[in-house]
Structure 1
């Protein structure tokens, strides 16, 4: 299989290009600022609350996201794409911070998995899509945020490699269990007609899912940052013994620990994105994507737990908006692998590579 990045054959790049990917350009920052403003305008907390309480997803705004170009970020330039996977990380982090109630993450993860598998970017459209990993062709598919998906990308391991299928999706009315986060539900899907199929040899499921895991990590980073901001602001306002609780060393240390956890995950996520852009199927890229997703899961679940603890009794009540971030972090953290599983998988890959010399 050709080495591809964003749908195009990849050649060796100079180290300075890799470093440039680790810091967003002014143009990217302007684009991200526009995304932040649009997300907060279209999806204020009141809208997220309504959906969490059983209201419908505002799919009428999907075209707004498409028109703004978010689905084009990281796609091949010759197919109308802009930027790289590293730029997509910054956009998805904003989406996670906004608790975006539309399937931008699921669609991005699906599209970039197809690109890594060698699918033609021109064959993809702007309709919502989802990503599922299958262990048994006879099983129903369970996918995250797939209620409105037109297609599902299905990744399956085989004895000789990996099979990637793009199938038509038919949503079922019942999810496999009550969703933790109704704004991003798990959905049971029927296997529809196979629209396209690729069988790849000499690659693993982890290789194929590397870009998707980077996308999920970016989204979790946004949610983690939202929770840490909430915890920090509460620590400044809430007083005990005549002082803000943030003045107490034990609270300070917890907030700093949360910040360090987020920055560690952010560094791994940007590093993984840069490696996948410059060396798409390197062992390092796969390992970094596993670590990035694991670290981001830990950062998000840790940040929402800290915010809950500092809020005290009202931490998980509807008096606070914290429960929205808790739901999102818990629902997304296990997608494409739990943190413990991914750390173990990374260790196994590194040990195997070392043993092979």
Structure 2
């Protein structure tokens, strides 16, 4: 599995830009100069017409810098849900702005701390005027740092099953509550809907199918982000081990430290293979994506957590100070590991898929 020369050039351009612009200030140049928000949007809707491998490259670079940009929630979840719905009217109306980056979207999905469809309790009922009113609370909704979103998609239950709705973020009966999380580099919010008017996206009752596909895409993208962050943890730790002198020699020259760094390297490269496998499956073998995404989310979550932990341990006392970046990577590792379900949940998904395939 190899990336193309064009994708490697994309990586170089992204790394240069993310080095030049910090935090939220990178969103405008990222979208205007590189067209990042529209990488996976078909050309007919104003995007670049790329695929999951292009997203993989971008997410790796965002992970390296612990970027707080709303790419995952907007360009992966929201765009992915709209495309999965096949709703041409909604796509024509919403995707161009999302592709340009002039509008930012999010998908309100999780409830009760779970992304499983069984946990969805938000209720969508018919109003006397024929519209749809949604009531429920959505948790762990990826947010936009310092501002509200422009496109809000909500998963709710109708008489036909789980369905997807577009809800105006500032409408009556809609309340956004920012959430303080341990990982301060990824903004989240809680959305409370109390009789909020919703507009059906796609087919009533088919929302569960859309969400399953979106979760696989999201897990593949998040796995790439985890690989980029883990790789940066290892780079910083190797650099420190070369320069930190103890007992008259660099600590990196001690055999025990070499072994731990070598183990961390193996974890990073194994995670990279799993993440690339999911990206290639999304582009070339969609039928294999559910299995590849479950593997990638499980492997990459655990690898990132382990490498981030080693970063703190091998940096010693400075690794637990507020001024050093080690704690930021460790917190991102913990938060990303739980996002879209912990590794154990995805291993259970994988076991179920393998069991069905064996019948």
Q: Secondary structure at the match of 2:3?
A: coil
Task: Provide closer, same or farther for how the CA distance between residues 79 and 303 of structure 1 changes in structure 2, counting only shifts above 3 A.
Answer: same
Task: Provide closer, same or farther for how the CA distance between residues 151 and 248 of structure 1 changes in structure 2, counting only shifts above 3 A.
Answer: same
Report the CA distance between 1:202 and its aligned residue: 8.7
User: What corresponds to 2:229 in structure 1?
Assistant: 223
Q: How does 1:64-213 map to 2 (within 5 A)?
A: 64-67=29-32, 68-82=34-48, 83-110=50-77, 111-120=79-88, 121-123=91-93, 124=95, 125-126=97-98, 127-134=103-110, 135-137=120-122, 138-142=135-139, 143-146=141-144, 148-155=148-155, 162-169=162-169, 174-176=177-179, 178-191=180-193, 193-198=197-202, 199-200=205-206, 203=209, 205-213=211-219
Task: Provide closer, same or farther for how the CA distance between residues 213 and 160 of structure 1 changes in structure 2, counting only shifts above 3 A.
Answer: farther
Considering only aligned residues, what root-mean-square deviation do their CA atoms show, in Å? Answer: 2.6
Whole-angstrom distance in 2 between the partners of 1:78 and 1:66 = 18
Say which of 16, 28, 34 aligns to 1:37: 16
Whole-angstrom distance in 2 between the partners of 1:27 and 1:278 = 18
Instruction: Point out the more displaced range, 135-144 or 146-155.
Output: 146-155
Task: Provide closer, same or farther for how the CA distance between residues 294 and 196 of structure 1 changes in structure 2, counting only shifts above 3 A.
Answer: same
Q: Secondary structure at the match of 1:190?
A: strand
CA deviation map 1:163-188 (0-9, x unaligned):
33333335857445x31122312211
Q: Secondary structure at the match of 1:182?
A: coil
- Checking the alignment, whether the CA contact within 8 Å between 1:213 and 1:290 is kept in structure 2 is yes
Task: Provide closer, same or farther for how the CA distance between residues 250 and 193 of structure 1 changes in structure 2, counting only shifts above 3 A.
Answer: farther
Whole-angstrom distance in 1 between the partners of 2:159 and 2:303 = 35
Q: Secondary structure at the match of 1:115?
A: helix
Report the CA distance between 1:131 and its aligned residue: 2.7
Task: Provide closer, same or farther for how the CA distance between residues 80 and 166 of structure 1 changes in structure 2, counting only shifts above 3 A.
Answer: same
CA deviation map 1:291-339 (0-9, x unaligned):
1112121122111111001111221212322122222222222111111
1:318 aligned onto 2:318:
no
Aligned length in residues: 317
Task: Provide closer, same or farther for how the CA distance between residues 97 and 175 of structure 1 changes in structure 2, counting only shifts above 3 A.
Answer: same
Say which of 281, 296, 308 aligns to 1:292: 296
Query: Could you state the TM-score of these two structures normalised by the residue count of structure 2?
Result: 0.80
Task: Provide closer, same or farther for how the CA distance between residues 201 and 25 of structure 1 changes in structure 2, counting only shifts above 3 A.
Answer: same
Task: Provide closer, same or farther for how the CA distance between residues 155 and 201 of structure 1 changes in structure 2, counting only shifts above 3 A.
Answer: closer
Task: Provide closer, same or farther for how the CA distance between residues 168 and 299 of structure 1 changes in structure 2, counting only shifts above 3 A.
Answer: farther
Task: Provide closer, same or farther for how the CA distance between residues 154 and 262 of structure 1 changes in structure 2, counting only shifts above 3 A.
Answer: farther
Q: Secondary structure at the match of 2:183?
A: coil
Q: Secondary structure at the match of 2:107?
A: strand
User: What corresponds to 1:328 in structure 2?
Assistant: 332
Whole-angstrom distance in 1 between the partners of 2:324 and 2:14 = 25
User: What corresponds to 1:7 in structure 2?
Assistant: none
Report the CA distance between 1:201 and its aligned residue: 8.0
Whole-angstrom distance in 2 between the partners of 1:246 and 1:38 = 31
- Checking the alignment, whether the CA contact within 8 Å between 1:74 and 1:84 is kept in structure 2 is yes
Report the CA distance between 1:99 and its aligned residue: 1.3
Whole-angstrom distance in 1 between the partners of 2:166 and 2:293 = 23
Structure 2: gaps of 5 or more residues:
111-119, 123-134
- Checking the alignment, whether the CA contact within 8 Å between 2:121 and 2:157 is kept in structure 1 is no
Whose RCO is larger (CA < 8 A, sep 6+)?
1
Whole-angstrom distance in 1 between the partners of 2:250 and 2:156 = 52
Structure 1: gaps of 5 or more residues:
1-21, 49-57
Report the CA distance between 1:270 and its aligned residue: 1.5
Task: Provide closer, same or farther for how the CA distance between residues 190 and 169 of structure 1 changes in structure 2, counting only shifts above 3 A.
Answer: farther
Task: Provide closer, same or farther for how the CA distance between residues 190 and 232 of structure 1 changes in structure 2, counting only shifts above 3 A.
Answer: same
1:302 aligned onto 2:302:
no
CA deviation map 1:106-161 (0-9, x unaligned):
21222123323324443322211223324210431121234532223334688987
Whole-angstrom distance in 1 between the partners of 2:192 and 2:61 = 32
Query: Could you state the TM-score of these two structures normalised by the residue count of structure 1?
Result: 0.80
Whole-angstrom distance in 1 between the partners of 2:12 and 2:161 = 41
CA deviation map 1:15-35 (0-9, x unaligned):
xxxxxxx32222221122111
